[in-house]
A = this chain, B = another copy of it.
């Protein structure tokens, strides 16, 4: 058998005709719908197909298996966060610490909060996929951007940046999720940002800077 392959996780084919573009889009939307309504544990390929108004067969024409579908979802959403952070980072090079932090926190938190429910739904996916492939890839990209940005701070101790970056990501991720779980009334979001800024400033001053 040819079945020894570790099972492809990438989408199967790029639609050629126009009709199929619609199908793919419908599947994409349906997946989120199901995720929001039923949760990952109850997300089945059949149910997704149903909600998308297509047949299972169609779903499998574009994604070789369930995991590939989930990964595609994950990828698409992480990309958005990734892109947002990238922009914020690059625009913050050489700014003073305060502005830098404000920018990156704004970008990250807003990206997550904008579609709070989707973010939470997507978060569920992470534990569901052998996400090594590209989840970490997006994260790595963000890490690189953050690292570069922090490197433009005057007087920074370069070799200590990686750990700081990790702390930032872990903290932003955890805290943002916590606020989302708490229903995130707008004022909480504002407060979250302020708090993060205080913490990060302390973090960076302690860890990275002499003065």
Contact = CB atoms under 8 A, between A and B. Distances in A.
A134 interface: no
Given A124-B127, A175-B170, A191-B163, A42 B2 contact: yes
A198 B208 CA distance: 12
Contacts of A191: 163
A112 interface: no
Secondary structure at chain A's binding surface: helix, strand, loop or mixed? helix
A202 B207 CA distance: 13
A19 to B, nearest CB: 15
Contact of A207 (B40, B177, B195): B195
Contacts of A200: 199
A99 interface: no
Nearest to A38: B2
Interface string A180-211: 00100000100100110011111100110000
A182 B202 contact: no
A141 B47 CA distance: 39
Contacts of A157: none
Contacts of A206: 194-195, 198
A167 interface: yes
